[in-house]
Amino acid sequence: MIQSETTTYAHCQNCGRWYKAGINFASAEAFEDARIKKTTRVCPFCKKSTPVMKEYLRLDEVRIDGRITHTEGRYFL
């Protein structure tokens, strides 16, 4: 199994910038399978409250071999 490091980013619906969401996942597969409840956070850039839900998240996975993958959040019913 290839080791990797993941970082989750949220997309601010006010200013459009991406910021670290502070939500950790062990892998892209765990992110894809996760059910995330809608919440709100304050964007560190524009300082406005913005919704945080799966479709506004992105997971960046950096593997030990240097390969980077981006996984966009999707909403599942």
What is the tens place of the pLDDT at every residue in 11-61?
Answer: 999 999 999 999 999 888 899 899 888 999 999 999 999 999 999 999 999
Q: What is the pTM of this model?
A: 0.83
- Distance between CA atoms of residues 77 and 71, nearest Å: 19
Reported confidence tier of residue 74, pLDDT bands at 50, 70, 90: low
* pLDDT value of residue 22: 92
- Mean pLDDT taken over the chain: 89
- Distance between CA atoms of residues 10 and 56, nearest Å: 6
Reported confidence tier of residue 77, pLDDT bands at 50, 70, 90: very low
